[in-house]
Amino acid sequence: MALFVERCHLSEGSSRRGIVSVAVIIAVGVNTDDRREVLGMEIETAEAEAIWTEFLRKLTRRGLRCVTLAVSDAHEGIKAAVSKVLSATWQRCRIHFMRNALAHAGKNGRRVVSAFIVTAFAPGHARSVNRSMAPTRSGRRCRSLHPSWTAPSRTYSPI
110-151 pLDDT, tens digit per residue, is: 888 888 877 777 655 455 555 555 544 444 444 444 444 444
Cα 1 to Cα 9, 10, 52: the distances in Å are 26, 29, 19
Please give the Cα distance from 2 to 119 (Å, whole number): 23
Please give the Cα distance from 128 to 46 (Å, whole number): 41
User: 3: how many CB neighbours lie within 10 A of its CB?
Assistant: 22
Looking at the domain covering 2-92, what would its CATH class be? alpha beta
- Mode of pairing for the β-strands spanning 89-92 and 18-30: unpaired
Judge contact between 3 and 88, C-beta under 8 A.
yes
Q: Is 0.85 topped by the overall pTM?
A: no
Please give the Cα distance from 94 to 91 (Å, whole number): 9
30-85 pLDDT, tens digit per residue, is: 988 888 999 999 988 877 899 999 999 999 999 999 898 999 988 899 999 999 99
Average pLDDT over residues 8-23: 74
Residue 86 has pLDDT above 50, yes or no: yes
- Mode of pairing for the β-strands spanning 36-44 and 89-92: unpaired
